[in-house]
Amino acid sequence: MTRISDEALLERSQHGEYAASAELIVRYTPVVLYYAERYCYLGLEKEDLMQEGMIALLSAIRTYRGDRGAAFRTYASRCISNGLAKVAASQLRARNIPLALTAPLDEAGNVSAPSQDEPEEIVIRQEQSRDRSHRMKAELSEYELACLQLLLDGCSYAQIAGRLGRTVKSVDRALGRARQKLRRALAEPV
């Protein structure tokens, strides 16, 4: 049995053939998994990242144009990577909202009265956040930290390279080193 090319599947998919879309999704699920796992070290849920990555893949299938010169694999990988970077940045920004501005919900989803130990929890979370921040600064070089911050702000590798006056390959290596260092640092007990 011969394998149908991605481009042939894309054409069928863009003309409404659901089986072609399903085949592309099956083929590119490992790519989504690869990029989703790259953000798990930040404490984000793998399942949530997979869903967001699949949404980015579906968008890539819908919007791909072969006349622009890029192979679909390249285009899909970039869409998935950028989509997950934006989600990660958004999630991490949301985590920085002061807890004093949030209201606890009861099991029914209604705003509940704050518990008496809430101030303690706030202090503990703030201390944990400060500790993680100090560990990151201690583990990462200035360049790695700058690359990571720009990535979390939603910049692509090319944008980071442009802002820092480096090559995309240099940015990729710096972020790879940062990931390894953070995995080790966050896995170690305080």
Residue 174 lies in a domain: no
- Total count of domains within the chain: 1
Instruction: Give the CATH number, domain containing residue 76.
Output: 1.10.1740.10
Q: Which of 158, 159, 151, 154 is nearest to 182 (CA)?
A: 151
Residue 54 lies in a domain: yes
Q: C-alpha angle 5/30/79, rounded to 5°?
A: 75
* Ramachandran category for residue 109: left, alpha or beta (phi over 0 → left; psi -120 to 50 → alpha): left
Residue bearing tokens 């929890």: 121
Residue 151 lies in a domain: no
Q: Would you call 53 helix, strand, or coil by DSSP?
A: helix
Domain of residue 13 covers 1-96
Residues facing 111 on adjacent strands: 105
What is the C-alpha separation between 146 and 154, in angstroms, rounded? 13
Residue 138 lies in a domain: no
Residue 145 lies in a domain: no
* pLDDT tens digits in sequence order for the chain, 190 residues long: 568 888 888 888 888 888 888 888 898 999 999 888 887 766 777 888 888 889 999 888 888 888 888 888 999 999 999 988 888 787 766 555 444 444 455 555 554 554 445 667 767 777 766 776 677 777 888 888 888 888 877 788 889 999 999 998 999 898 888 888 877 766 655 4
Residue 36 lies in a domain: yes
